[in-house]
Homo-oligomer: A and B are copies of this chain.
Amino acid sequence: MNEQLQPLKKPTKTGKTRTGTQDDIVYAHIFDAILEQRLAPGTKLSEEALGEIFGVSRTIIRRALSRLAHEGVVLLRPNRGAVVASPSVEEARQIFFARSLVEKAITELAVQHASDAQLAELRQMVTDERDCFDRGDRGAGIRLSGEFHLRLAEAAKNAPLVSFQRSLVSQTSLIIAQYESGNRSHCSYDEHNELIDAIAARDSDKAVRLMMHHMDHIDSKLNLEEDSASGDLHAVFSHLGLAKKKPRTAR
């Protein structure tokens, strides 16, 4: 009577077998679902529904949602529940700016501090990433691409930057899933490999240059110029210019 449908294993395909607390497991499941776009931006995340799905109480769900909100992939409106975040173009720009800043610093630090073991692990991740795209699993590919940057941050050995990077990568993945233009060739694993080479050679200038180019590359793949179809109805129909102003002149 106490047994769950399934004792809630973590879904990550990356070999993370760490069987964390329920909290972490639910968090990871929702997180992955969002980043793999199985949960579209704007989707409402009902506490009760999620609790039933995962076989846990709302307390757990609530905490997981709180963590996700902290990372910016979930929007938590008071008394109105949680929805999958849908970054606006302006927010996307801000995130990219911050991320470029952080990636530059991380690259410089990684050149100084990355161990050979960490570099080997990064290479393995690039391989996994390529496999995903070859297999056609675009969602997992995007997620692994993000995890690559997160691991690189860990190699930089600066805890606050890692934490910030985690948030930025999550949101970036969301943006990519939301704004990426048609061609799916954003798969940048070769750029990742070049980057590892430069870091392994301890060539700071080259590594930074590659990273910046990589960022520009990702950015250029998105169509952030005009608002693509968003959930904002007002924005969608604003060009019609037939907004019904409330007839009451003063109140």
Question: Which residues of A come within 8 Å of B, CB atoms?
Answer: 21, 63, 66-67, 70, 72, 78, 91, 94-95, 97-98, 101-102, 105, 157-161, 163-164, 167-168, 171
Contact = CB atoms under 8 A, between A and B. Distances in A.
A75 B183 CA distance: 45
Contact of A160 (B21, B66, B161, B168): B168
B72 A160 contact: yes
Given A21-B78, A70-B70, A101-B105, A94 B168 contact: no
Contact of A97 (B78, B98, B158, B171): B158
17 contacts: A63-B66, A70-B70, A72-B163, A94-B158, A94-B159, A94-B160, A95-B160, A97-B158, A98-B105, A98-B161, A98-B164, A101-B102, A160-B164, A160-B167, A160-B168, A164-B164, A164-B167
Given A66-B66, A98-B158, 11 more contacts: A21-B78, A67-B70, A70-B70, A72-B163, A94-B159, A95-B160, A97-B158, A101-B101, A101-B102, A160-B168, A160-B171
A58 to B, nearest CB: 12
Integer count of this chain's copies in the complex? 2
A67 B76 CA distance: 14
A152 to B, nearest CB: 16
Contacts of A95: 160
Nearest to A159: B94
Contacts of A97: 158
A72 B160 CA distance: 9
Contacts of A171: 160
A75 to B, nearest CB: 12
A165 to B, nearest CB: 10
A2 to B, nearest CB: 20
A105 B104 CA distance: 12
A247 B167 CA distance: 46
A91 B159 contact: yes
A19 to B, nearest CB: 13
Nearest to A93: B158
Nearest to A72: B160
Which residue, A78, A157, A164, A171, has most C-beta atoms of chain B within 10 A? Answer: A164
A67 B70 CA distance: 9
